[in-house]
Amino acid sequence: MLAWLDLPTALLLLSLTFCTSLTVGGLLLLFRASKDRRPNNFQSLQYFLICMYVFGYYGLWSQLILARYLPLETAQNVSGVVAVLATPFLLIGEVMLLGWAISQLKQPPRWLFMASLAFIIGLASVCYSLIPAQPHASVTAMARPLVSLMTVFITALVAVILITPFSNNLNQPRARGFLALIALSGVIHLSQFSQLADMAYFETLFAFAFFFSNTAAVLVYIYSADFKPTDSAKRSASPSAFFSAHQISPREIDIVKAIAAGKTNQQIADQLHISLQTVKDHCSRIYQKVQVRNHTQLANLFRDSLR
């Protein structure tokens, strides 16, 4: 009954299942963290992981599945087109990662991002020129080493940049793990230049490693983002800092404090001598400012900001 489930197919399905689980779990925690914590420029890291997922499914898994179930020539033609469409997502994602890393520096110069990007493109091009040419290779096959080199150099530069702002926290296991996973997400691309690329199941294992390293790196960062706060950060943990950061008006401040105290809309209306509809209108504007959906989330966010 399961004669069709040979070892290559079983490995393919198992790896795809793990990658899908990583994607679903990663996206859920990613969007939750973007609302609950919102560390500095976290949106760029969010876009990075989404781009990695798009490339992973279009650029990696589509080729694996096509090669498995279509004739060789047809699979090569179709996967070549898909790879061309997917590769920009990988490069855009890596550029977003680089921009996020630079934003973690204290007062980075404006030219640093473009200079870093130009340096990486130049370095990758020089290294690519040293790779022996492959006769009769397709455009996709020829471009893949260059893209891989750029990915390796970007992740290496990101790891170096992140050592600077996190230097006082590298004794924390999670911080070290985050940097290690960022480096791993680039190092796996070097395997394409080694004898490992000749393994029977290399592409399947590479896809799994790609999803795991990128997802794990971002998730470790989410739970490591609250590094040791500075003295100024500790002093800013006050209601006034929270209200100022979210541009809460004086009347809205009264409502936030009442919600944090556990009062209902009607109780707030009675306390402030305003109509129930006015309270609801204020709540709606507050929700938009702090990006929450209800009283409970607002109260939790307000209390968390004071810790």
Torsion sign over Cα 62, 155, 91, 106: positive
pTM of the model: 0.67
- The Cα-based distances of 222 to 29, 40, 146, 178, 225 in angstroms read 8, 11, 31, 10, 5
Chain centroid to CA 51 = 8
Chain centroid to CA 167 = 22
Q: How far apart are CA 240 and CA 233, in angstroms?
A: 13
Q: Give the mean pLDDT of 75-87.
A: 72
Task: Cite the beta strand spans of 5-72 per DSSP E.
Answer: none
Region 232-305: CATH code: 1.10.10.10
Enumerate the domain spans of the chain.
7-228, 232-305
Of 280, 250, 242, 252, residue with least CA distance to 264:
280
Q: How many CB atoms lie within 10 A of CB 55?
A: 25
Residues 29-80 pLDDT 10s: 877 766 655 555 678 888 899 999 999 998 888 878 877 776 766 666 676 6
pLDDT band at 121 (very low <50, low <70, confident <90, very high): confident
